[in-house]
Amino acid sequence: MGFYEEISKYYDYIFPISNSTVDFIRNTAGNPPKSILDVACGTGGYSLELASLSYDMTSVDLDEKMIEALQSKAKKSGINVKFMQGDMIDLNNKFDKNVFDTVFCIGNSLVHLDNLNQINSFIKSTNHVLKNDGCLIIQVINYDRIVSKEVKSLPTICNESNGLSFERFYRYDNNQNKVYFKTVLTVDNQKYENEISLYPLMYNEATKILADNGFRNIEVFGDFLESSFQSESSYMMIITAKK
C-alpha cells in the first residue's frame, strides 16, 4: 500500500480541524453565502466544516485517495460539497473566470510545487478564478526560520487514542535550494516512511509574486490568530491578498 493511500486513512487524526483556522477563513471570506475554493483539500475537513456553515464549497486535490475520502465523508454526513481531482496549477482550465469569492490553500501544500515558476502559475490561476475583490489565503511553514535557523524537525504529532504518531524531519540542500521533508507515520505497530522535496518559499518571494500578479492588500500573519509575522520565530506564514 502506498504512503498517501495509507495516510489518507488517518489524515483526520493527524491533522484535525482547528477552530482558529475555520474562524480565520470565515473572517476573511465574509458571511455566507460565499463561494469558496479549497485547494489541496486533503480529505476535505475544512470544506465540510465550512459547507455546514452555509458556504458554497468546492474542493480540489491532486491525490485520488484524498478525494475518495472526502466523497465518503460527504455522503455519510449529508453535507453538499463539490469536489474534483486536479492539479493546483491548472485551476484556470478547470473553472470559469471570476467564480469564487475566496480561494484558500493551507496545510503547507503550496510548497509541494517544484519551483517559483510553478508557484507563480498557481497564483496566476487563482487570480483567474477569483471574483473582483475576491480574497486568496495561503498558509505554509515559515521557511525563513527553517533555513536561517537550520531547523531539522517539527514537533511530532501524536494521537494517543489511536496509537498514532507522525514524525517530521527537514533537511535543507543549499545547492538545490530544496528542503527534503521526511515523514514517519507509526500506527498499529507499522511504520510508513516517505520523503519528498519542498520548495522553501520565503516571505519576500511570496509577497513579490502576489504583487506581480496584481494582488493588493497583502497581509502576512504568524498564525491563524493573526499574530504578527516574525521571520526568525513564527512557526508558519499565513498570507491574505485581494484581487
> Does 4 have pLDDT greater than 80?
no
Residue 211 pLDDT > 60: yes
Question: Which pLDDT score is estimated for 147?
Answer: 97
- Please state the rounded mean pLDDT for residues 191-201: 95
**Per-residue pLDDT band at 162 (split at 50, 70, 90):** confident
Q: Where are the domains of the chain?
A: 3-142+201-242, 145-198
Where in 42-94 does DSSP place strands (E)?
56-61, 82-85
Q: Quick one: cell of 128? A: 483567474
Identify the bridge partners of residue 194 per DSSP, sorted by sequence position.
183
For residue 97, give Cα distances in angstroms to 54, 152, 191, 202, 231: 23, 41, 44, 29, 34
User: In 3D, which of 114, 115, 107 has the Cα closest to residue 14?
Assistant: 107
Q: For residue 238, give the H/E element and its range.
A: strand 236-242
Amino acid at 41: C
pLDDT at 139: 98
Q: Is 125 exposed, middle or buried (0-12, 13-18, 19+ CB in 10 A)?
A: buried
Query: CATH assignment of 3-142+201-242?
Result: 3.40.50.150
